[in-house]
Amino acid sequence: MLFFEGSEKKLEIVMRPKSDSLRALGHKYWQKMVTKARADILCSMSNDQCDAYLLSESSLFVWDNRFLMLTCGTTTLVDAAAHFIHDRGQQNLDFVSYQRKNEYLPHRQRTTVNDDLKKFRTLLDIKAHQLGYLDTHHHFLFHYAHPDYRPPSHDITAELLMYHISEQAANKLLHPRSIESIREFLALDKLLDGFILDDYLFEPFGYSVNLLKGDDYATIHITPQQCSSYVSFETSLDLSGKYRFIVDELLKKLRPRAWDCIGFNTKPQVPEQRDYLLLGECQLPLECGYQVDFNYFLDGHQTPLTIREL
């Protein structure tokens, strides 16, 4: 049985005002960063605001004053974070966040969550939280903010993380006729109209796509194997407003048995469905101004979740 850990680790770093442009660092710099995480750059695209790299394990987006890096599998994203912080200097950082979800097979990972936290705390005055119960879906969030940092009002991140997609959807993604057939199945031209895209079809299974439109981004990563099927969608679009239809369409197409919604300064809205219930939810206000919302959907009764400080 072919297994792959699809859930991502996620790093986002915002630079202090008047810092040097991150885009100016160039491809070789980011290739070294990606190598530190035990991944590779497969291809890239750019527009006037952002450089987007598709990785052997997920994605990297680089703007002038910030970057976002996602890696899956058994990657060591914490090592890439340590390299960047040592190289650019703590004094040049405005905000750092690191997310890691509980894995299907955590014993196969090269580091534990506690290992990652210990390393981060040698670098920064990190605060860490667990969102959710230990015995079901939960996420770890580490964060650091400069005392002067406040996120812009338009600074939004929305994540839709889907688990155990339907057999019909999995079959379309396990044995696609072509990369174009996956784009058609997902209806990317309708979901994200006006975005340019860069995608990759992995062998024997898997699909990733990066999308850009101005300063906005989106990315989708698919692990279709039945034993560990997982699909992630992340974007800077507000999924609680005019773009909430994206959530509706992805859930209808993929029909996951469970999903998580995570929002920074937004709360992604999901359709009311008879087959799904909100199992739990929690909110975490960060001192710098972000409001983090975590919602977990599954068959079952609504239950409050907890936040635990580490």
In a domain, 57, yes or no: yes
Q: pLDDT digit string (tens) for 249-308?
A: 999 999 999 899 999 999 988 876 667 788 888 999 999 999 999 999 975 434 555 556
Q: Which long-range contacts (CB under 8 A, 24 or more apart) does 88-91 make?
A: 88/15, 88/19, 90/123, 90/124, 91/16
In a domain, 2, yes or no: no
Q: pLDDT digit string (tens) for 136-182?
A: 778 999 999 999 999 998 999 999 999 999 999 999 998 888 999 99
CATH number of the CATH domain containing 163: 3.60.90.10
In a domain, 4, yes or no: no
Q: How far apart are CA 77 and CA 23, in angstroms?
A: 20
- Among residues 28, 33, 35, 18, the alpha carbon closest in space to that of 87 is found at 33
Structural domains of the chain, count:
1
In a domain, 274, yes or no: yes
Quote the percentage of the chain above a pLDDT of 70. 93
Q: How far apart are CA 93 and CA 111, in angstroms?
A: 25
In a domain, 46, yes or no: yes
pLDDT at 310: 60
Q: How far apart are CA 250 and CA 234, in angstroms?
A: 12
Calculate the average pLDDT of the chain.
91
In a domain, 1, yes or no: no
Query: pTM (2 decimals)?
Result: 0.93
Q: Kindly tell me the burial class for residue 304, based on how many C-beta atoms sit within 10 Å of its own C-beta (0-12, 13-18, 19 or more).
A: exposed
Structural domain that includes position 68? 9-309
For the annotated catalytic residues, the residue numbers are 5, 8, 58, 72, 208, 221
pLDDT at 132: 85
Q: pLDDT digit string (tens) for 101-126?
A: 987 677 788 899 999 999 999 999 99
